[in-house]
Amino acid sequence: MFLRASKKSRSEVYLYDPIGTDKEGNEITLIDILGTDPDTVSELVEKFFESRRLIEKLKSLSSRDRKVLELRYGLGGKRRKTQREVAKIFGISRSYVSRIEKKAINKLFQELTQNKPPV
Q: Give the global pTM.
A: 0.58
Regarding predicted confidence, which is higher, 71 or 46? Answer: 71
Q: Of 11-15, 44-48, 105-109, which gets the smallest average pLDDT?
A: 11-15
Q: Of 23-32, 52-61, 70-79, which gets the smallest average pLDDT?
A: 23-32
91-105 pLDDT tens trace: 999 999 999 999 999
Alpha-carbon distance of 46 to 52, in angstroms, equals 10
In this structure, are 68 and 21 located in the same domain?
A: no
Read off the CATH number of the domain in which 81 is found.
Answer: 1.10.10.10
Residue 2, in any domain of the structure: no
In this structure, are 70 and 104 located in the same domain?
A: yes
The residue range of the domain holding 36 is 10-48
Res 118: pLDDT: 55
In this structure, are 42 and 70 located in the same domain?
A: no
In this structure, are 62 and 102 located in the same domain?
A: yes
User: What average pLDDT does the segment 76-81 reach?
Assistant: 88
Average pLDDT, the chain: 83
One-character DSSP codes across 60-106: TS-HHHHHHHHHHHTTTSPPP--HHHHHHHHTS-HHHHHHHHHHHHH
15-41 pLDDT tens trace: 778 888 888 888 888 777 776 666 677
Instruction: Count structural domains, the chain.
Output: 2
